[in-house]
Structure 1
C-alpha cells in the first residue's frame, strides 16, 4: 500500500476492512489476527460470536437499537428521567447479549442462563423506573422497599456489565465511593438506621439525575450515540484508506517515511474513530509492518502507532466526538472548541514527528521513491470521501442545525458518499460486458449492507460508552451528595498552597487513574465531572481546566501499567509490551507537558483578554523548540549521533525552559538548545569519515553486488 500503486479497492474489499488493512506494503499478507488483538486489548471488541440465524437476529436488534436512539434523540419530548432509564434498559439487554462473562471459553451462538437472568433483572429494574417515573420522583426519599430492591438490582447488573465491557479500574473507584456514600449517610444522621441510609443512597444514585441517569448519560444519549453512529458510517465509506494514501503522499518520501505516514494517518483516522485501541489495530495493521520493514525496531514501531492513535482524540475538528461534548460542558460554541484545540494538537504531533525523524536519521533510514507514491490526481479524485466530515463541521459551526440534527444529516450524507464510492469502485473494476445497471444494482446492495453493518457497529460501540457514562454519573453523584468534592478540593488547595503546580500534579494522577481502560468520550465525561472542578477551584481558567483533564485522561491509553493502545500495538509489532508502552510514553511526552504549558500560558488555547497574533505565534514557536529539546533528550540522538548523558540532560533543561512561560526562561532555553545543536554539529563533522577514507571502507554485501 505504501511502496506500490495498489489496485482500486472494490466494495467487498472496502467492507472487509480487517483483511485489507492486514496487508503489508507489498501486498503480502501479514501474520496478524486483528480481531484477536482487538478482543485481547479492547474490551469493546470482546463480544460473543453469533453465526447463521442468531447472527441475523442479533444484527437486527442492534440496527433497531441504533435507529431507536436516533429517532428518540431527534423527536422525543418525553421526560428526561423516563427516556434515560429506558435507554439504559435497552443498553443492558444489548450488553448482555453481546458481552460474555469472561474473555475466553464462550461458545458460538450460546448465552448462559445466568446472563439471561441478569439481563432480564437489569432490564426490568430500569424499565420499571421508566414506566413509573413520575410517581417515583414524587415519592422522593420515601421510596418503598420494592423500589429499593429494584434500584440495588439495577446498579449491581450495571456494574457487572461495566466489568465485562469497560474494565475494573472505574468499578473500583466507583465502588469505594458508593461505600463511602453509604457510610457518610449512615453517620450523618441522628440514628444509625441502616435501611434508611441504604434507601437514601439508592434513591440518589438510581432514581435522580445525581446518579446513574446524570449528566454523563444524558450527554451520551443526546450526542455521543449519534456521533458514534456517524463515525461507523464514515469508516465504511473508505475514508481510512484515503487518509493513509494522503499521508503516504505527504510524508512517505522523506527519511523514515513509513513512521511519518503512521503519525499523519493515525491522527486523521483516530480523529474520526474516537478509539485509541481500535485505531491502533486498524491502521497499525498496515503501518507497523511497514515501519519494521523500513528498519525501525518493533518496540519503536508499535510505540509510534500507539502514540499517534491516542493523539487522534485531541485532533480537531472532531476529536473523537469529544469536541462536541466539550462545547456542551463548557458552554461555548463548538467552533471555538475546535479552534482552541489546534495549537496543542500541533505541538503533540510535532513532538512525535520530531522523534521519528531523529530515529530515522540515527538508523540511516530512507523513504519511498516518489514515483512509487500515490499520485496527487488520484487523491484529488477521491477527496469527495471527506464531504460528510466537512458537512458535519459546517452544520455544527454555522449553527444552522442542532448538533443532533447535524449528525443525522451527516449520517445520511455518509451513506450517499459510500454508495457513490461503491459505484465508482465497481465501475473501475467491472468485468467485460458488465453494464451500468448491473453496477448500480450491485453497489446498492453493498451500500445497504454497509449501512446495516454501520448501524450494528455503532450500537455495539455505544454500549461500552453508555455503561461508562452511567458509572461516571454514579461517581459524580457520590462525590456531590457526600460533599466529598468540596473536601477533596479543600485538601488539594491546602496542600498546594500558593504552588498551583502541586494541585496540577495531583489532578494529573487522578486523571491517569480514572482514565485507565475507559473509552475516550466517556473518559472526558468522567474528567469533566470529577477533576475539572478541582482545577477551577485552584483558579485555573475553566477552558484550560477542561483541556487539562481531557489530555491526561486520554494519556492513560499509552501510560503504563494499563497502556491498552501500546499493548495492542505490541501484539501487532510482536514486541515487548512494557517496552512499547515506555517508548509510546516518551514519544507522547508532549501530552504530559503541553497541558501544564497552557495552564500557565493560556494563549496556546487562545484564552486571554490581550491576545495578539504575535504573542500566539511566539509562544507556539518557543513551545515547539522546547518539544524539540525534550525529544532530543528522550530519543538520545541528533544529526544521527548518540548524545552524551550530560548533553541529554542539558537538552531536557533547555526544552523545559522554552516551554515555561517567561522571557528570561525562553532566552535561557534558546541559548542552551542552539549552543547544544552547534556543539553536536561540530561533533558530527569531526566523527564523519573523510571522502577518501570512506572510499577505502569495506563495502557491505549489497554495495558490492551493486558495483559488480
Structure 2
C-alpha cells in the first residue's frame, strides 16, 4: 500500500514544531498553557466531564435551556482560565519551581488568580442552575432580582468577556462590550440613540435570561455544535480523516497542477468538519504546501491555495463548520434542508478555486504527480468503510433526525470502525485524550457564542438593528446593488476580527434583515452574510488563514492574501448571483436553475482564465480584459447581459486560437527549415 500523502516521509518533528509555532502566532485558540504540571489533571478531568455531559444529554435529551447552557458555559469558562494565560505567551517554567512562585503566578502550573477566576466562572454559571426555579417563572423579576442576582450577573458577564479575550481574541470582546454599553447608555450615543437602560437590570437580563448570552447561539452550541466538533476530533484522532485526503489525491493528483488540486479537495473535505479555517490551513498545509512547492508552485501560491480551500471548507455540506446550525435556528429552515440548499453554492466555490489553480498551473507548466506518489486504488477500496460515518450523518439528517442524534450516531460509527484496524484503533489513554481534545476544541466556539449572544441581545432589546439597517439603505440611496456591496463590506470587516460563528451571529441579526427588507428570500440573505463572513479569512489586510499558510510556506503574508483572494474570486461573486437569482438556492423553476448554472460555470471559466493570465495559451492584455469582463457579464443573471459576456469571451477565444495557430505554424516552419539545412549539410 502506498503511503498516504499525509503520512509520507518528511513530516518530521521539526515540521510539527513549525506547525505549533505558526498556530500560536496566528490562532489565539492555540495559545494555551503547555506547562500545567499537576494542574493538567484538573483540566483533563473537567474536560472529560464536559464531553461526557454532552454525550449523556445527547442520549437522554437536553436539560432545560438555562441549565444546559449554564453547565455548558460554566465548565468552558472554568477550563479556559486554567488553560489560557492572561498574557499572549505563557511564562516559561524555570527549573526548581517553588510554591512561592506559584503564589505570585510564576513557573509551572496555574497562578492563584487564574485558579480563583476559574472557580468564580464555574460558580457564577452554576448559580443559574441553583436559581432555576425562580428564573424559569414567566416574569423572574416581578418582585425584583435580589442584590446577589445582580452581583452574579455582572461577575458572569465580565468573566465571559475575559475568557473570550484569552481564547478567541480582543476584537470580539470590543464588539460585545460596546454592544452592552450601548444597551445601557444608548441615550448618550451620538448615533442610533435610544432611551437607555438601568445598568444592573440590563446585566441581569443579559446573564440570567435566555435572550442574550444564553440565547440561540449558546442553545445551539450546547446541543449540536459541541457534538459535531467532537465528531471532527474523532475523525482526526483515529486517522479516519486521512482517508478523505487519500481520496482527493487519487482523484486529482495526476492532472496538471495535481498537488494543488488535491490539496483543494482534501482541505475542503477536512475544513467542513474542523470549523476553523486557520487551524485547518496549518494542519493540512503542513504537508500539502511543501508538496505544492516541490511540484513547482511558488510559495505564496501554495500557501494561498491551501488557505482558500481550508476557508471554503466551512461552506461545504453536510457539516459546514458550526454556523450552519445557528442558521437553521435563525431562519426556521430545517438543517436537513439547509445542507441541500448549500450544495450548489459550495460546489461553485470549489469549482472556481479548481479552475483558478488549473489555469495557474497551465501558465507555469506544472505537471501532475507521479503514479507512485499517489495512493493505490486497492488501498482506497479496502478502506472504503471509513467514509461510513459521514454517510451515517447525512442519511440521518435527510431522514429527519435531529442534528444532535445524527452527530451522536456519526461519533459512535467512527469510534467502532476505529477498532477494525491497528492504525485507527484507540487504547484507553487515546480515548481519554480524545475526550479532552474534544472539549478543548469547543472552548473558543463556546466563548465566541456567549459573547456574540450579548451583541444579538442588544440588537433585539434596542432599536439598533432597525436603525442600522435604515442607515445602510439611506447611505446606498435605495440602490439594491449598493446595499449588497455595503452589506458585503460590513460582513468582511466584522469577519476580520470575529471567528466564523460569532461573525454569522452578528451579521445575521444586523445585516441579513436589511436584505430581507429589500425582498431578498430569507435563506439567500443569510447565505449572503454567511459567505462573506467566512471569506474575511482570506481577504486582505487581515486575512488570518492566508497569514497562517504564509507562515508554513515562508512566503510574504500580504502577497499570499492577495493571491488567495484571486484564487477565490468565484466566492466573491457567487453570493451576488444567488441573491439576484435564487434558483441557485433551489428556489424557483428548474429551467431557471439550469440556465443560471450554465452561464455561471462558463463565466467562472472566463474569469479564472483572465485572472490567471492563461486560457489556451498565455493571454495578452486585450484578451485578459475580454475574459474578465466577459466572465463578469456571464455570471450576472440576465439573458441580454450574459449574451454580451458570451460575445466577449468568444472573441478572446478566437484571438487565442489565432495566435496559437500562428505560433504553431511558425514553429513547424522553423523545424522544416532546420531539417532542410541538415539535409543539405549531409548532402
Q: TM-score, normalised by structure 2?
A: 0.90
In structure 2, C-alpha distance between the alignment counterparts of 1:491 and 1:505, rounded to whole Å? 14
Per the alignment, residue 637 of structure 1 pairs with 614
Deviation at 1:470, TM superposition (A): 0.8
1:255-294 maps to which residues of 2 (within 5 A)?
A: 255-294=256-295
Report if the CA contact (8 A) 1:166-1:517 is conserved: no
Q: Who is 1:96 aligned against?
A: 81
Q: Which residue of 1 aligns with 2:346?
A: 345
Counterpart of 1:151 (choices 143, 150, 153) is 153
1:616 — aligned with what? 593
Deviation at 1:310, TM superposition (A): 0.5
Measure, in 2, the Cα distance between the counterparts of 1:265 and 1:599.
29
Residue 67 of structure 1 corresponds to 52
Q: CA deviation at 1:523?
A: 3.6
Residue pair 1:622, 1:659 contacting (<8 A) in 2 also: yes
Q: How does 1:73-152 map to 2 (within 5 A)?
A: 73-75=58-60, 78-107=63-92, 109-136=108-135, 138-139=140-141, 142-152=144-154
Question: What residue is the counterpart of 1:227 in the other structure?
Answer: 228
- Residues 275-354 of structure 1 aligned to structure 2 (within 5 Å): 275-354=276-355
Superposed displacement of residue 133, structure 1: 3.0
Question: What is the 5 A alignment of 1:681-700?
Answer: 681-687=657-663, 690-691=667-668, 693=670
Residue in structure 1 matched with residue 480 of structure 2 by the alignment: 500
Match of 1:532 in 2: 512
* Whole-Å separation in 1 of the counterparts to 2:131 and 2:18: 48
- Separation (CA, whole Å) in 2 of partners of 1:373 and 1:121: 53
Q: Give 1:75 shift.
A: 2.9
Given that residues 351 and 588 in structure 1 are in contact (C-alpha distance below 8 angstroms), is that contact kept between their aligned partners in structure 2?
yes
Partner-residue secondary structure (3-state), 1:690? helix
Alpha-carbon distance between aligned partners in 1 of 2:151 and 2:673, rounded to the nearest angstrom: 86
- Runs of 5+ unmatched residues, structure 2: 94-107, 675-683
8 Å contact from structure 2 (residues 311, 537) kept in 1: yes
CA contact (8 A) 1:233 1:451 kept: no
Q: Give yes or no for contact 1:362–1:639 (8 Å, CA) kept in 2.
A: no
Q: TM-score, normalised by structure 1?
A: 0.87
- Is 1:412 the counterpart of 2:412? The answer is yes
User: Cα–Cα, structure 1 residues 384 and 526, in superposed 2: closer, same or farther, change >3 Å?
Assistant: farther
Provide the C-alpha distance between the structure 2 equivalents of 1:416 and 1:281, rounded to a whole number of angstroms: 28
Distance 1:531 1:635 in 2: 33
CA separation of 1:176/1:372 partners in 2, compared to 1, >3 Å: closer, same or farther? Answer: closer
Shift of 1:55: 3.3
2:198 is paired with a residue whose SS is helix
Higher mean C-alpha deviation, range 497-506 or range 575-584: 497-506
CA deviations 1:239-293 (Å, max 9, x no partner) are 3321222111111111111111111111111122222111111111111001101
Match of 2:603 in 1: 626
Q: Is the 8 A contact 1:223 1:325 kept in 2?
A: no
Distance verdict in 2 for CA 1:566–1:101, change over 3 Å: same
| Alpha-carbon distance in 2 for matches of 1:57, 1:128 | 21
- In terms of mean alpha carbon deviation, does 305-314 or 681-690 score higher? 681-690
Are the structure 2 counterparts of residues 643 and 164 from structure 1 closer, same or farther at C-alpha, using a change threshold of 3 Å?
farther
2:173 to 171, 174, 179: 171
Q: Would you say how many aligned residue pairs link Structure 1 and Structure 2?
A: 653
Aligned counterparts of 2:114 and 2:505: Cα–Cα separation in 1: 28
Give the conservation status (yes or no) of the 8 Å contact 1:344–1:604.
Answer: yes
- Report the 3-state secondary structure (helix = DSSP H, G, I; strand = E; otherwise coil) of the residue aligned with 2:255: coil
Corresponding position of 1:203 = 204
Asked whether the 8 Å contact 1:271–1:318 carries over to 2, the reply is yes
Among candidates 160, 163, 172, match of residue 162 of structure 2: 160
Pairwise CA distance, 1:220: 0.7
Q: Which moved more, 1:51-60 or 1:476-485?
A: 51-60
- Pairwise CA distance, 1:56: 4.0
